[in-house]
Amino acid sequence: MQKWGSAVWKGGIKDGQGVISTQTAALREAPYGFKSRFEDGPGTNPEELIGAAHAGCFSMALSLMLGNAGLTADRIQTKASVTLDKDGDGFSITKVHLTVKAVVPGTDQAGFEKIANQAKEGCPVSKVLNAAISMDATLEA
């Protein structure tokens, strides 16, 4: 299986503009630029897209692993906070923090945390990131 995303960039790093698109057209020429990446300007940026991808991947991995344990989540909500730090002359994604809240009948907090940690390690996006991944996992009623 292979999926793709694409980007077009025009101009310099600070005054240029780009657009990002996805194969499914979920994003179609979504604007991005220096201000949306390093300041609070409008548009998207690679880090928030990585965060969304990681949150989605982790949530699906958690659902799979819960199912393998005979459990089904009523709801899984995941936020992935991506940290971009200065690294020499450039930047690196150094950390991702997952905050997951889920309603899962038939388990307790300890059991949920164990499965959530397995999902964190097993998620394909977690495996591709060269960053420290931390997590807060909360089982809700």
Domain enclosing residue 62, as ranges = 46-140
- 65 and 133 together in one domain: yes
CA distance 128 to 130: 7
- 91 and 30 together in one domain: no
| Nearest CA among 60, 53, 61, 56 for reference residue 20 | 53
Q: What pLDDT, on the 0 to 100 scale, is given for residue 108? A: 97
- 25 and 54 together in one domain: no
As for how many domains the chain has, the answer is 2
CATH number of the domain residue 128 falls in? 3.30.300.20
Q: What is the mean pLDDT of the chain?
A: 96
- 17 and 59 together in one domain: no
Q: For 51-109, write each residue's pLDDT tens digit.
A: 999 999 999 999 999 999 999 999 999 999 999 999 999 999 999 999 999 999 999 99
- 133 and 116 together in one domain: yes
By CB neighbour count within 10 A (0-12 exposed, 13-18 middle, 19+ buried), where does 22 fall?
A: middle
> Which pair of tokens denotes residue 75?
């709801």
- 53 and 92 together in one domain: yes
- 13 and 78 together in one domain: no
- 84 and 100 together in one domain: yes
